[in-house]
Amino acid sequence: MTLLTFRFAPSPNGELHLGHAYSALLNQQMAARAGGRLLLRIEDIDIARCTPEFEAGIFHDLKWLGLGWEEPVRRQSEHFAEYRAVLDRLIAEELVYPAFMSRGEIRAFIAETGGRDWPRDPDGVPLYPSLDKALSMKERKRRIAENIPFAWRLDVEAATAHMSGALSWTEFTDETMAATHSVEARPQAWGDVIVARRDIPTSYHLAVVVDDALQGVSHVVRGQDLYAATGVQRLLQELLGLSPPRYFHHRLILGPDGRKLSKSLKDTGLAALRHAGMAPQDVRRLVGL
């Protein structure tokens, strides 16, 4: 029997908080109960916001919590060439297109055309107006030659046209992994998502599906805030011929105001709690583990 493989995949663009602690400890607990492996992956593709200091903080906090993981740790910023190769496949298959509109242009276009009625993605961000899809190859080449910045966006219409049946994923009903149900993937809800950003040959979605497959991750255990994003990731897996892991999207740890914790909420940061004298078992109790 192959070993079940779990992973905790934080981004070093801020300090870990109670929500991360819950996710990391839950992965540890589920992997231990299944007799499986636990990987740690550093998701640092955003080279402008991720820092070595935040990364060092992650290692420190996780060790303090008592988390153990397999070495070597995969650091996404060291694998841009691999993501580039996968992106090149999507370019060759014409499943992505260069998108030239700047944030300001997107905003102005939407204000002129749809205003408040313009469709939004599950995170509330207006969908990209897919105007660039209509550009001729000649015009695309001209703009690229002129160094006009662009991102590669998924042509979600072309991509879903490839699918024979409905796209779905397998979700565990709870952390005991006793039962699963099938969830319909709705990548269209995100419109033409970014697959590679202006400055780097990947995006969160692309790197995550490539790495989960490459690292043999069988069980993705992560926060409920990424539930809808799984739809896009399932589509990318289908397009790239990658076999999908199973998913468990866990409850989120909320702040005292009932809102999702953010990296700027210093009072629930693990380092701050530690400095205030808290022990790892207090953190476990706080997150209900």
Omega within 30 of 0 (cis) for the link into 72: yes
Ranges within 207-226 binding ligand GLU (CB under 6 A): 208, 222, 226
Q: Is 202 in the site for ligand GLU (CB under 6 A)?
A: no
| Complex with ligand GLU: residue 96 or 221, whichever CB lies closer | 221
Q: How many CB atoms lie within 10 A of CB 233?
A: 24
Q: Which two tokens stand for residue 243?
A: 């076999």
Instruction: Report, in Å, the least distance between residue 1 CB and ligand GLU.
Output: 25
Q: Is residue 10 part of the contact set for ligand GLU (CB under 6 A)?
A: yes
Phi, psi of 109 (to 5 degrees): -60, -45
| Total residues binding ligand GLU (CB under 6 A) | 7
Q: What is the gyration radius of the CA atoms in the chain, in angstroms?
A: 20
Binding mask 129-168 for ligand GLU (x = CB under 6 A): ----------------------------------------
CB 193 within 8 A of CB 205: yes
Q: For residues 27-46, which are near ligand GLU according to CB under 6 A? A: 43
Question: Residue 70 or 88: which CB sits closer to ligand GLU?
Answer: 70
User: Is residue 231 near ligand GLU by the rule CB under 6 A?
Assistant: no
Q: Which two tokens stand for residue 101?
A: 């509109």
Residue 154: left (phi > 0), alpha (psi -120 to 50), or beta?
Answer: beta
The site map against ligand GLU for 77-116 (x = CB under 6 A) is: ----------------------------------------
**11 binds ligand GLU per the rule CB under 6 A:** yes
Q: What is the C-alpha end-to-end distance of the chain, expressed in Å? A: 29
Surface-to-core class of residue 75, CB atoms within 10 Å of its CB (0-12 exposed, 13-18 middle, 19+ buried): middle
Which stretches of the chain bind ligand GLU, using CB under 6 A? 9-11, 43, 208, 222, 226
